[in-house]
Amino acid sequence: QLSTAQPSPERVPSPEEQEWAGPEALCPGWLEDEAPDGEVPGDSGDPECATHAYERLQSALCQEGLPPTLDCSAEPCTGFGPLDVTVCILGSPTAFLPVLLEGGTRCPGAMVLCLSPTWVSRVPSETSPGAWSLLLSRGVSFKVGGHSALETFAPPRRANYVTGTFAPGDPEGGWVGELARDLDCPTGGSVPLAHRLEDALVTRWVLAARANLPVPPTLAFVLGARGDLPAEPAAPGVRLVRLEDPQGQQSLVQEE
């Protein structure tokens, strides 16, 4: 698993080595300040997001000794229908790189990495009223041997499984969470779920109280009601102390 915390110091292949035509090839209309369907926050159309993410992808591929991504976007790919497998990965190119590489080996062309909200659009679902379908007009697909290609899809390719970097604080977290909201296909997570899973107190409470699994002895001080932490059932190993006001409660904290 590659870390997304720090960019790699490794040399990024030159544009000539990447066969990359520049930001316009990555992000059509990148000078325009438009959102796909009004569902994505206004600042998500950052024209540099795709460029930076693409460079990170090339650096990660280089570290693994894999060939750089080929730019095949000049000739749109056609013929994709609703029954074709399209697994869409939104956001960070490094967090899911092992999955993309393995998926490209097992099902060549089915794994498609989306690096920018301008590469996809949300349209009302034809099969699930009130839900949305995610259509990919551009993406990086993965094939056998770690080969990857930047491709355009005409007509847009419909995603039938979506996942991505939903982690709070991730640079891509905002637009990824919006694009993956209320879809008519299965998704591999959500921003609210990521918030819950990253909350150590909630996680330990659920494991101890709901699943009867042992957790490390935990003493937690919380401010306010914290409605997501019910008083019952009790969680073995977890001691919860509610503080209405942190001021003047040093004695209570010391006692606990």
Domain that holds residue 149: 47-188
- Report yes or no on 105 lying in a domain: yes
Share of the chain above pLDDT 70, in %: 76
SS3 16: helix
182 CB-near residues (< 8 Å, 6+ apart): 130, 131, 132
Instruction: Judge whether residue 101 has pLDDT over 80.
Output: yes
pLDDT averaged over the chain?
78
Q: Are residues 57 and 182 in the same domain?
A: yes
Q: Are residues 86 and 152 in the same domain?
A: yes
Q: Are residues 73 and 143 in the same domain?
A: yes
Q: Which residues make beta-bridge pairs with 223?
A: 243
- Report yes or no on 250 lying in a domain: no
Pairing of strands 161-164, 218-223: unpaired
Q: Are residues 208 and 182 in the same domain?
A: no
End-of-domain residue from the set 188, 208, 235? 188
Q: Are residues 203 and 180 in the same domain?
A: no
In angstroms, the CA 120 to CA 45 distance is: 12
Instruction: Judge whether residue 216 has pLDDT over 70.
Output: yes
Domains contained in the chain, number: 2
In angstroms, the CA 122 to CA 177 distance is: 13
In angstroms, the CA 198 to CA 67 distance is: 35
Token pair belonging to 191? 């921003």
Q: Are residues 72 and 167 in the same domain?
A: yes
Amino acid type, 245: D
Q: What digits encode the pLDDT tens for the residues 33-65? A: 333 343 333 333 454 678 888 999 999 999 999
Helices (H) and strands (E) in the chain — how many of each?
8, 9
Q: Are residues 177 and 228 in the same domain?
A: no
Between the alpha carbon of residue 201 and those of residues 26, 197, 208, 222, 224, the distances in Å are: 41, 9, 11, 10, 15
- Report yes or no on 12 lying in a domain: no
Q: Are residues 156 and 208 in the same domain?
A: no
End-of-domain residue from the set 169, 188, 207? 188
The rounded radius of gyration (Å) of the Cα atoms in the chain is 22
Q: What is the pLDDT of residue 100?
A: 95
Q: What is the mean pLDDT of residues 191-207?
A: 83
Taking the whole predicted model, whether its pTM rises above 0.75 is answered as no
Q: Are residues 94 and 154 in the same domain?
A: yes
Between the alpha carbon of residue 33 and those of residues 5, 36, 41, 94, the distances in Å are: 28, 10, 11, 27
Q: Are residues 153 and 93 in the same domain?
A: yes
Q: Are residues 128 and 96 in the same domain?
A: yes
Q: What is the pLDDT of residue 48?
A: 63
Q: What is the mean pLDDT of residues 104-113?
A: 94
Q: Are residues 73 and 180 in the same domain?
A: yes
The candidate with the shortest Cα–Cα distance to 142, out of 75, 76, 57, 74, is: 57
When mean pLDDT is compared across 11-15, 140-144, 185-189, 226-230, the lowest value belongs to 11-15
Q: What is the mean pLDDT of residues 57-86?
A: 91
- Report yes or no on 9 lying in a domain: no
pLDDT level of residue 230 (50, 70, 90 thresholds): low
Q: Cite the DSSP H helix spans in 11-131.
A: 15-18, 23-26, 47-63, 97-106
